[in-house]
Structure 1
Amino acid sequence: MIAPTKGIAPQRALLTVGAQISIVLTEPMTVSQVWVAFKAWRIRHANDALIPFSWFVLALDLLYSLGTVHYEDGLLYRKGTS
């Protein structure tokens, strides 16, 4: 689930999704803005595996647990960009 396995394709692994979220989180954004930017990024880069919102939230949880993002006043920040 976190890393690719036989049952989880590399495009869907939470570490992959989290890395892609980090790429689009270049400035403070709402969760909705990150979701839209993330989906657009995946389309532009031919990532055809569908990612439901719940999986996106799990990737955000992983990033938060790793200390790479924080949430304040309704905005998500990548650490070091606030």
Structure 2
Amino acid sequence: MLGLCAEQGIKIQNIQPGKLAQNAYIERFNRTFREDVLDAYLFDSINHVNALAYEWKIDYNSNHPHKALNGLSPWLFANEALVS
């Protein structure tokens, strides 16, 4: 991973331990995924986890409004950006 990032000119920066607010966007995403998937189901296999995570990702990106995107879902936002 580090090698790929270096090849692409991406600099990895770690947050300070215990300072989750420094990475609020991903922490909010992690919370949403945990509440909607990980805490909501009892899994019987890794394939079950993968299937539910895939379904959740499709729903999250196509149906859920995001404040940062002016209330649009990521797919609607991307579509509008491509059209304009």
Task: Give me the TM-score of the superposition, normalised by structure 1.
Answer: 0.35
Structure with more relative contact order (C-alpha pairs < 8 Å, separation 6 or more): 1
Bigger share in strand? 1
Bigger share in helix? 2
